[in-house]
């Protein structure tokens, strides 16, 4: 008897009547799962998958492996993240090899089985408990980024293969069931295309790292652009392709933005809950929230904002924000709150979406959570449009909407989104009341949703090793962060692709520029400096932590901060001297003896002779002190000993280098005044 037969027999004896593991049956689950990651299964499992595209029906062993046994191994009562990681480590490399074979032979059923499995194996008990609805929107807590990207690169060329496209165009669109767990018997090239796009969308939406991996991958982008030319515009899978492209496109790659906006708006208008249907959240296999995510990514570019600028489009976004006004606080038995982020301050008079009476409390909570997320993305889209002055005027004219936004009592992410939107809306009024005091050396601007852990490492290093005054508060509101910018000498931009599309991040950078703050772009993840970010950072020196290791990147950052502190110190000193000089009747050049110079005379002398850096080494010195310094430099046996001591102090205290030319000019200029004073 083979091991497979033995496993099947033991499973049949211990499983439920529905061929499931059942509760409290850990021994059976461990038996099945361990078999699925053993070397013994590989040949049998591969044979079973190959059978899917033959005319022969599956034999009993193959049917158990592909359906009953696989579902048992994925049993959500036992399958957790640890099991997921073990399963992926064993099977993902094998899946990729099998896909190469099946793509070559165009074995669609086998391809469909593997692609569907790639989604199912990421659904674990932890991820399902965290957010049920998001299991089909993104991969939660994905640990296999590189492996999934490699598989995507393997399967994606299929959508531009000539023989595959011929079948795609021949499909009956009306018969396509765009659900990833659709019946295996219903198999078409259209379904495979959509499933590939589905996995790519989920991967891109997973987190900032996955998003950046796709956005920076020219192979993937070129295939997608090619598919956009080859797939008919009326084909339902084209929508998923378009949403992916607008999410990852760079400014230089945008073509015909109006056509793209029109298509997005046309499909956003079909969002089901706008028409009273609260049981469906997708259209042509694309979730409503994915449409809004794509639109938000597209709206970061000014040229796209210009073509989006129609009152009807802005009105549509305002309607989509309405769920923020509805009661979304659902309670379990025992009054346990589901949503702590949002509490309405008054009963909305707008047409807020209500949860279906037929749903359970859990369903209500998930429904409200999803609607709120969609509303927040719509509000972020409106926030992006506020960077267009004409759009800002139109939005301001929606006085009832703006009033409701102002009166929402919200917390967490909702509060930050609203606060940033209102600050930008009231920007002119806000900036008039700002007073600058430079109480911070540095303010850190970053994407809180995706880059917090990386930025926190930088912050901790700076405060542990240097005495910098830094504004860094994960809980602060966007309006407070904008005030911190005013109070800082320079602003550290922790840049990533998700940073570029975040309206609050853009608001902070533009505010810093408008207040003439020095900007230090620190590249956290590979980023293309295009659009608004590229135009603002054109003349700023960038520190690339992707190119350099952490230590070198931080050293470069320290150099930039110290340079800014030096510039600020010298600027303030020079400004103070100019004020003193205006009110003074004397000039150091008219004083007969250098020993009679005041501290202000010494600094005037240094600035007049372009010896600014020496101001740092002669603070509070008067003429007598300056003469003594000059004499010490002359007395030393080694002419350069004085230079070395000054250079060491400058480097230790200010992380600056004393140029030899400045040192020589310093001695020569003083010598003239000493010579004059001797007569």
Shared domain for 440 and 549, answered yes or no, is yes
Alpha helices in 156-298 (DSSP H): 162-170, 189-206, 208-215, 218-230, 238-248, 257-268, 288-298
Shared domain for 418 and 282, answered yes or no, is yes
Three-state secondary structure call for residue 610: coil
Q: Tokens 């800082």 appear where?
A: 488
Higher pLDDT, 138 or 45: 45
Q: Would you say residue 28 lies in a domain?
A: no
The proportion of the chain whose per-residue pLDDT surpasses 70, expressed as a percent, equals 83
Neighbours of 332 (CB within 10 A): 11
Rounded distance between C-alpha atoms, residue 423 and residue 417, angstroms: 10
How many domains are there within the chain?
3
Three-state secondary structure call for residue 519: strand
Shared domain for 337 and 404, answered yes or no, is yes
Among candidate residues 533, 565, 597, the one where a domain is terminated: 565
Shared domain for 416 and 440, answered yes or no, is no
- Please, what is the Cα angle at 444 between 439 and 446, to 5 degrees? 155
Mean pLDDT (the chain, rounded): 83
Burial classification of residue 340, based on how many CB atoms lie within 10 Å of its CB (0-12 exposed, 13-18 middle, 19 or more buried): exposed
Quote the pLDDT of residue 433.
59
Segment 185-210 shows an average pLDDT of 88
Shared domain for 383 and 443, answered yes or no, is no
Shared domain for 296 and 421, answered yes or no, is yes
Distances from the Cα of 226 to the Cα of 202, 237, 546, angstroms: 21, 15, 30
Shared domain for 387 and 346, answered yes or no, is yes
Asked whether residue 132 carries a pLDDT value surpassing 70, the answer given is no
Rounded distance between C-alpha atoms, residue 270 and residue 293, angstroms: 16
Q: 409-410 and 342-343: which strand pairing?
A: antiparallel
Among candidate residues 378, 406, 425, the one where a domain is terminated: 425
Q: Tokens 């309670």 appear where?
A: 331
Q: Would you say residue 74 lies in a domain?
A: no
Paired residues of 410 in beta bridges = 342
The model's pLDDT over 253-281, given as tens digits with 9 standing for 90+, comes to: 999 999 999 999 999 988 766 776 666 67
DSSP 417-462: HHHHHHHHHTHHHHHHT------EEEEEE--TTTSHHHHHHHHHHH
The model's pLDDT over 400-419, given as tens digits with 9 standing for 90+, comes to: 999 989 988 888 888 899 99
The model's pLDDT over 35-45, given as tens digits with 9 standing for 90+, comes to: 999 999 999 99
Rounded distance between C-alpha atoms, residue 550 and residue 545, angstroms: 6
| Residues in CB range of 344: below 8 A, 6 or more apart | 325, 326, 327, 408, 409
Asked whether residue 494 carries a pLDDT value surpassing 90, the answer given is yes
The proportion of the chain whose per-residue pLDDT surpasses 90, expressed as a percent, equals 46
Q: Tokens 């409701």 appear where?
A: 404
Say if CB 192 and CB 238 are below 8 A apart: no
Q: Which domain holds residue 655?
A: 584-677
The model's pLDDT over 526-564, given as tens digits with 9 standing for 90+, comes to: 888 999 999 998 888 889 888 888 888 888 888 888 777
CA–chain centroid gap for 134, Å, is 18
Distances from the Cα of 371 to the Cα of 314, 328, 400, 410, angstroms: 18, 9, 21, 15
Paired residues of 331 in beta bridges = 337
In the DSSP assignment, the letter for residue 467 is -
Quote the pLDDT of residue 654.
72
Distances from the Cα of 84 to the Cα of 80, 114, 474, angstroms: 6, 16, 32
Shared domain for 455 and 530, answered yes or no, is yes
Quote the pLDDT of residue 538.
85
The model's pLDDT over 315-325, given as tens digits with 9 standing for 90+, comes to: 999 999 988 77
Paired residues of 544 in beta bridges = 523
| Residues in CB range of 323: below 8 A, 6 or more apart | 352, 353, 368, 371, 372, 374, 375
Domain containing residue 538: CATH number? 3.40.50.10140
Shared domain for 531 and 611, answered yes or no, is no
Segment 80-86 shows an average pLDDT of 95
Segment 356-360 shows an average pLDDT of 33
Say if CB 113 and CB 121 are below 8 A apart: no
Asked whether residue 182 carries a pLDDT value surpassing 50, the answer given is no
Q: Of 133, 135, 208, nearest to 369 (Cα)?
A: 133
- Cα radius of gyration (the chain): 33
Higher pLDDT, 458 or 184: 458
Shared domain for 266 and 403, answered yes or no, is yes
Query: How many contiguous H segments (helices) and E segments (strands) does the chain have?
Result: 33, 9
Quote the pLDDT of residue 432.
55
Three-state secondary structure call for residue 469: coil
Rounded distance between C-alpha atoms, residue 623 and residue 677, angstroms: 12
The b-or-e profile of 512-543 (16+ CB within 10 A means b, else e) is bbeeebbbbbbbbbebebbbbbeebbeeeebb
Rounded distance between C-alpha atoms, residue 102 and residue 503, angstroms: 44
Interhelix angle 26-36/3-14, rounded to 10 degrees, is 150
Q: Would you say residue 110 lies in a domain?
A: no
Quote the pLDDT of residue 423.
93
| Residues in CB range of 666: below 8 A, 6 or more apart | 609, 611, 614
Shared domain for 273 and 311, answered yes or no, is yes
Neighbours of 9 (CB within 10 A): 11
pLDDT class of 180 with cuts at 50, 70, 90: low
Rounded distance between C-alpha atoms, residue 28 and residue 59, angstroms: 23
Q: Would you say residue 220 lies in a domain?
A: no
Q: Would you say residue 325 lies in a domain?
A: yes
Quote the pLDDT of residue 466.
81
Q: Of 208, 255, 251, nearest to 242 (Cα)?
A: 255
Q: Would you say residue 171 lies in a domain?
A: no
Among candidate residues 425, 457, 475, the one where a domain is terminated: 425
Asked whether residue 345 carries a pLDDT value surpassing 60, the answer given is no
Domain containing residue 667: CATH number? 1.10.150
pLDDT class of 582 with cuts at 50, 70, 90: very low
Quote the pLDDT of residue 333.
34
Quote the pLDDT of residue 287.
87
Quote the pLDDT of residue 277.
67
pTM for the structure as a whole? 0.78
The model's pLDDT over 603-627, given as tens digits with 9 standing for 90+, comes to: 888 888 888 788 888 878 888 888 8
pLDDT class of 360 with cuts at 50, 70, 90: very low
Q: Would you say residue 158 lies in a domain?
A: no
Segment 88-93 shows an average pLDDT of 97
Phi, psi of 153 (to 5 degrees): -65, -30
Paired residues of 286 in beta bridges = 283
Say if CB 560 and CB 520 are below 8 A apart: yes
Q: Would you say residue 83 lies in a domain?
A: no
Quote the pLDDT of residue 207.
87
Shared domain for 300 and 415, answered yes or no, is yes
Rounded distance between C-alpha atoms, residue 72 and residue 79, angstroms: 9
Tokens of 43: 């040949």
Q: Tokens 């009832």 appear where?
A: 400
């Amino acid at each position: 008897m083979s091991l497979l037969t033995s496993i099947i027999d033991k499973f049949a004896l211990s499983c439920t009547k529905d061929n499931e593991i059942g509760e409290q049956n850990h021994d059976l689950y461990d038996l099945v799962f361990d078999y699925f990651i053993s070397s013994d299964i590989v040949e049998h499992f591969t044979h079973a998958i190959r059978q899917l595209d033959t005319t022969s029906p599956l034999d009993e062993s193959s049917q158990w492996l592909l359906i009953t046994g696989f579902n048992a191994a994925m049993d959500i009562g036992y399958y957790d993240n640890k099991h997921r990681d073990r399963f992926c480590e064993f099977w993902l490399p094998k899946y990729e090899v099998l896909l190469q074979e099946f793509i070559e032979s165009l074995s669609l059923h086998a391809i469909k089985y593997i692609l569907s499995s790639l989604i199912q194996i990421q659904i674990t008990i932890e991820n399902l408990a965290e957010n049920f609805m998001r299991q089909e929107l993104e991969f939660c807590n994905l640990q296999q980024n590189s492996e999934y990207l490699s598989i995507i690169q393997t399967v994606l060329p299929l959508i531009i293969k000539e023989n595959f496209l011929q079948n795609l165009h021949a499909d009956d669109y009306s018969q396509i069931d765009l659900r990833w767990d659709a019946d295996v018997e219903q198999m078409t090239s259209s379904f495979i295309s959509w499933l590939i796009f589905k996995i790519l969308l989920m991967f891109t939406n997973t987190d900032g790292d996955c998003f950046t991996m796709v956005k920076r991958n020219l192979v993937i982008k070129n295939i997608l652009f090619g598919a956009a030319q080859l797939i008919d515009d009326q084909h339902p899978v084209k929508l998923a392709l378009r949403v992916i492209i607008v999410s990852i496109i760079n400014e230089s790659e945008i073509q015909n933005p109006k056509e793209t906006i029109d298509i997005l708006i046309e499909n956003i208008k079909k969002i089901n809950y706008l028409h009273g249907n609260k049981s469906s959240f997708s259209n042509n296999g694309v979730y409503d929230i994915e449409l809004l995510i794509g639109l938000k990514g597209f709206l970061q570019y000014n040229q796209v904002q210009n073509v989006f600028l129609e009152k009807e489009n802005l009105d549509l976004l305002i309607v989509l924000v309405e769920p923020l006004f509805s009661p979304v606080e659902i309670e379990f038995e025992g009054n346990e709150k589901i949503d702590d982020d949002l509490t309405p301050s008054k009963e909305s008079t707008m047409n807020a979406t209500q949860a279906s009476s037929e749903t359970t409390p859990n369903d209500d909570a998930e429904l409200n959570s999803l609607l709120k997320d969609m509303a927040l993305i719509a509000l972020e889209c409106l926030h992006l449009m506020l960077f267009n002055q004409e759009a800002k005027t139109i939005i301001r004219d929606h006085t009832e909407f703006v009033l409701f936004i102002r009166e929402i009592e919200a917390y967490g992410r909702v509060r930050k989104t609203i606060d940033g939107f209102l600050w930008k809306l009231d920007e002119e009024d806000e900036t008039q009341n700002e007073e600058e005091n430079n109480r911070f050396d540095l303010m850190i601007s970053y994407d809180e949703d995706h880059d917090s852990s990386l930025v926190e490492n930088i912050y901790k290093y700076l405060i542990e090793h240097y005495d910098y005054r830094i504004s860094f508060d994960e809980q602060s509101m966007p309006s407070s962060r904008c005030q911190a910018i005013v109070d800082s000498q320079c602003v550290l931009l922790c840049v990533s692709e998700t940073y570029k599309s975040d309206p609050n991040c853009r608001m902070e950078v533009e505010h810093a520029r408008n207040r003439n703050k020095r900007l230090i772009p620190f590249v956290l993840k590979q980023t293309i400096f295009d659009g608004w970010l590229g135009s603002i950072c054109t003349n700023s020196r960038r520190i690339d932590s992707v190119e350099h290791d952490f230590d070198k990147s931080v050293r470069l950052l320290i150099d930039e901060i110290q340079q800014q502190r030096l510039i600020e110190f010298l600027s303030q000193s020079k400004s103070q001297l100019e004020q003193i000089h205006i009110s003074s009747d004397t000039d150091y050049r008219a004083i007969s003896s250098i020993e009679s110079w005041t501290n202000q005379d010494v600094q005037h002398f240094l600035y007049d002779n372009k010896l600014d850096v020496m101001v740092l080494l002669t603070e509070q010195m008067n003429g007598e002190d300056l003469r003594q310094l000059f004499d010490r430099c002359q007395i030393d046996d080694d002419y350069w000993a004085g230079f070395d001591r000054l250079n060491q102090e400058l480097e230790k205290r200010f992380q600056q280098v004393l140029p030899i030319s400045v040192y020589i000019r310093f001695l020569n200029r003083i010598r003239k005044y000493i010579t004059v004073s001797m007569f």
